Chain A
Amino acid sequence: MDYVIQQVLNAASIGGEYALLALGLAIVFSVMGLVNFAHGEIITIAGFTMYALFIFASPTSAWWLLPIGIAAAIAAAVTFERVAFRPVRNAPATTGLLTAFGVSIVVKNFFVSVVGATRPRAVPTPDWLGSQIVIGGVHIQTLQLLEAAVTAIALIALLALLRGTNIGLAMRAAAKDFNTVRLMGIRANQVVLAAFVISGLLAGLAAVFIMARRGAVDPFMGFSPVLKAFVAAVLGGFGSLTGAVVGGLALGVAEVLFQIVLPDKIAGYRDAFVFLLVGAVLILRPQGLFGRKYQFGDKEG
């Protein structure tokens, strides 16, 4: 029983992390048709900001690193939009994707130049993030519990925002038809900004959890989780918010399952198996689980 609960929580926390990231990708994509390949670098920037703060300000408590990391993630997302993505806002999807790819390379190599590529740098996170608690005789990692809970709360908050606020409604409307949203007098820049703030915030939350688990930063740390998030988003149907969440959780479950069933000898292939599984789903449903059958990445209207 203990074991089952462990694994369920495992899947929920990993899946939650992917869902947070995939959701950020999906929001930006649905609002402005951009595939943000630099999403992983938001995590990296958050990580390095926490590192810099730790080195230069040596805060008395590691607590402070968390909100700062999240703020840095939001700032990074917004800066990317302002500097790199705005000039290509109305360009074809491929142009945006390659721009984001370029941004990702710029950021990675910036950190490589500044701190060097090879060695991860340790960053402390609050001790309680690494602790365990016992609920009804079951040992549970605080981090995992928190991760699952924060993901759930973030999702509910996002849902409330999308249903109950003008900017949320505008974002949903813009996903289908940006021009008509502008005809309501709503500023396109604000809608896009909101999308990036949300995606930055979600990535920031994920970054904090990733930092707590890794305890160190390096210039390439954002890549692997975001790659998974991409796959999750595609699995769910790229641009669908529900799809992003379901895809993320499904990926988490698949990873944990493969971890359990794969013999040690081929455990290294886990990611390959996960991706192949996703590939198999996509053969049956090319538009993903929740995707509209849209053509070639185009938005309507």
Chain B
Amino acid sequence: MMAALQMRFGLGRQSFVGGFILAALVILIGLIVMAAAEKAQIRVANVFFVNLILVLGLQITMGNSNVANLGHITFTGVGAYVAGILVAPLAIKATGIPNAPFGLNTFELHFIPAAMIGVVIGTVLAFLTGLVLTRQTGIAYSIATLALLVIVHTVFTNWVDLTRGPIAFYGIPFKVNTVSLMLIAAACAIVARLFRDSRWGLQLRASGEDVLAAEASGVSVKRLRLVAWTLSGFVLSLGGVMYAYLVGTISPKSFYFDAVFLTLAMLILGGMRSASGAVVGAVIVTLGTELMRWLEGAPVIFGAKMPQIFGLTGFFLGVVIVLFMALRPDGLVGDEELDEMAKRLWRQRKARAAAGEDTGPETSS
């Protein structure tokens, strides 16, 4: 199968190796937390994995297309609401959404088909909106993604019969744990890495610099952006489903600006041009916000809520974004994936060592 992938998408061995290394890293984090951490810290880790999935989803479109995307959380919300409503027990629906449309309160689904439907609807919505959005360019595109977020948010808040409106929808059974979250996050890391290195990802990234040139050489940037947007919609709605199954309670607020901003900050900090950047950014921002919370002496949180990023923490995250944009717009990781970077450094060291041994002129390897 791998060989077929290699052929079809122009993927090299390094992409697979790198993807698996990254996935292993994610799993390693999970294992360490499970082995060493207390309950509260495990909760933090669970939320971290969900956020990581979202950041990876964001990276797929924003990192490759090189245009700011501010509406990605839309699909997270759609995935979460669809799966959450489908899976919620009848008793809960009877009190929560007694007037649900489409007879949604007359049945409950097993959590796996519910998840699948959530992801499919999220992905299809991404595809359909992508058809319109990718006609836009540059700034208009970014603002259109924002408008999409607002439109869907308006629907979540106003379709009271379906979502309970602005009130939280609760009672979604807890169906995921650290192991499943970590595995799915790891899989998403591989997907993001492979997409980045695929022919599509490459062309898309090349076009980010010079769209006209790309279009002139026969690369349809619009189509590629649509592919990235749809794939990212898939990952993001999957993340939404995970969120619903992890937290059990969702509200329109969970899928609005705070989430956009948090995931965006993670990606910017780590570096949006690589999947490794997404992972690094998610890790560091999570550690940072935990540290801030600890410093602020925040009370113990019940349940695994998305971390609150208001106030000082948010302030500093904002400062971090501004500073990074001014000083290091490519983020901590930059253009290369971690494995590529390691390989390059290793080669350079070897070359230097070789040059040191024979005193003759530089040998080029």
Contact = CB atoms under 8 A, between A and B. Distances in A.
Contacts of A288: 140
Interface in A84-120: 84, 87-88, 91-99, 101-110, 112-113, 117
Contact of B312 (A99, A113, A238, A282): A113
B246 to A, nearest CB: 25
Given A109-B314, A230-B143, A271 B154 contact: yes
Contact of A286 (B135, B151, B315): B135
Contact of B140 (A110, A223, A269, A282): A282
A126 interface: no
B326 interface: yes
A56 B140 CA distance: 42
B142 A97 contact: yes
Contacts of B91: none
Counting chain B CB atoms within 10 Å of each CB, which of A94, A105, A275, A294 scores highest?
A: A105
Interface stretch (B98-106, B113-121, B316-324): B316-324
Contacts of B66: 92, 94
B52 to A, nearest CB: 20
A231 interface: yes
A234 interface: yes
A287 B311 CA distance: 38
Contacts of A296: 67, 137-138, 211
B151 A93 contact: no
Given A88-B325, A297-B139, A269 B154 contact: yes
B150 A106 contact: no
B181 interface: no
A109 B321 contact: no
Given A266-B158, A275-B150, A95 B136 contact: no
Contact of A101 (B150, B158, B321, B329): B321
Given A109-B318, A286-B140, 10 more contacts: A87-B326, A87-B327, A88-B325, A91-B325, A94-B67, A96-B325, A106-B315, A272-B155, A294-B138, A297-B137
12 contacts: A35-B143, A97-B139, A107-B318, A108-B314, A109-B312, A109-B318, A112-B310, A272-B158, A279-B147, A295-B137, A295-B138, A297-B137
A227 interface: yes
B125 interface: no
B138 A105 contact: no
B132 interface: yes
B225 to A, nearest CB: 11
Interface string B71-87: 00000000000000000
A147 B185 CA distance: 52
B146 A230 contact: yes
Interface of A: 29, 35, 84, 87-88, 91-99, 101-110, 112-113, 117, 223, 227, 230-231, 233-234, 238, 266, 268-269, 271-272, 275-276, 278-279, 282-283, 286-288, 294-298
A272 B155 CA distance: 8
Given A35-B142, A112-B314, A296-B211, A99 B325 contact: yes
Interface string B230-268: 000000000000000000000000000100010010001
B351 interface: no
B55 to A, nearest CB: 14
Counting chain B CB atoms within 10 Å of each CB, which of A98, A230, A269 scores highest?
A: A98
B21 to A, nearest CB: 28
A95 B325 contact: yes
B227 interface: no
B317 A276 contact: no
B338 interface: no
Contacts of A104: 318
Given A87-B326, A113-B311, A105 B140 contact: no
B6 interface: no
A108 B313 CA distance: 12
Contacts of A234: 139-140, 143-144
Contacts of B136: 282, 286
Contacts of A95: 325, 329
Contacts of A271: 150-151, 154
Nearest to A265: B158
A105 B265 CA distance: 10
B311 A112 contact: yes
Interface string B144-175: 10110011001101100000000000000000
Contact of A84 (B142, B147, B311, B322): B322
B304 interface: no
A238 B139 contact: yes
A219 to B, nearest CB: 9
A285 to B, nearest CB: 10
B235 to A, nearest CB: 21
Contacts of A283: 132, 135
A98 to B, nearest CB: 6
Contacts of A266: 158
Contacts of B322: 84, 99, 102-103, 106
Contacts of A29: 139
